[in-house]
């Protein structure tokens, strides 16, 4: 069995897997369940085991080039320190957020196309005018209520006056 070096390293270093079982037992179970590794996995594992993994960012020789590779979405498989620095997690977050924004843009353009085709129908124009009039009337009512609240006597004062008036009548 081979190919588990990189997976075990990622499991050990990954912050999101802390909630898992202690000592990497969950990873060992995954490896045992997977069975024999392919030749490509064996080669990738041997390359990983022999590769240099920097302990600090000062040990990284071409940090600027690596950052350029990450931001331009080029292949980052041989950058083994991404997991340690947390860049791998940040990279996955930015990829998912970019995908969401792309999906939102597509939905928005579809809605724009739909709204353009709806403008042609006269019945829609009539309902739009009704809705606009309704909104205008609602704003008018809201403004009137705001004015009424300005001159309103607070409830506590009202109750107090009522209580005092009742007390004067009983005397």
* CB-based contact 20:26 (threshold 8 Å): yes
Average pLDDT over residues 132-152: 94
Cα angle 58-14-31, degrees, rounded to a multiple of 5: 125
Query: What is the rounded distance in angstroms from the CA atom of residue 39 to the CA atom of residue 164?
Result: 95
Quote the pLDDT of residue 1. Answer: 45
Q: Is the pLDDT of residue 35 over 80?
A: no
Average pLDDT over residues 92-110: 58
Q: Is the pLDDT of residue 163 over 70?
A: yes
H/E element, 49: helix 39-50
Phi/psi class of residue 13: alpha, beta or left (left: φ > 0; alpha: ψ in -120 to 50)? alpha
Q: Which residues of 62-96 are buried (b: 16+ CB within 10 A; e: fewer)?
A: eeeebeeebeeeeeeeebbbbbbeebbeebeeeee
Quote the pLDDT of residue 122. Answer: 81
Quote the pLDDT of residue 31. Answer: 60
Where does the pLDDT of residue 43 fall: very low under 50, low under 70, confident under 90, or very high at 90 and above? confident
Q: What is the DSSP letter of 16?
A: G
Is 0.85 surpassed by the pTM of this model?
no
């Amino acid at each position: 069995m081979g190919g588990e070096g990189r997976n075990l390293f990622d499991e050990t270093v990954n912050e999101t897997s802390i909630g898992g079982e202690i000592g990497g037992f969950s990873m060992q179970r995954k490896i045992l369940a997977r069975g024999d590794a392919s030749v490509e996995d064996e080669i990738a594992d041997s390359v990983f085991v022999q590769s240099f993994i920097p302990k600090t960012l000062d040990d990284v020789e071409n940090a600027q080039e690596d950052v350029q590779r990450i931001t331009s979405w080029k292949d980052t498989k041989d950058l083994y320190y991404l997991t340690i620095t947390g860049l791998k997690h940040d990279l996955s977050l930015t990829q998912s957020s970019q995908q969401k924004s792309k999906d939102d843009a597509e939905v928005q353009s579809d809605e724009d196309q739909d709204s353009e085709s709806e403008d042609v129908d006269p019945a829609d124009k009539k309902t739009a005018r009704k809705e606009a009039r309704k909104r205008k009337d609602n704003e008018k009512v809201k403004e009137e209520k705001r004015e009424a609240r300005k001159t309103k006597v607070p409830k506590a004062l009202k109750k107090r006056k009522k209580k005092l008036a009742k007390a004067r009548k009983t005397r």
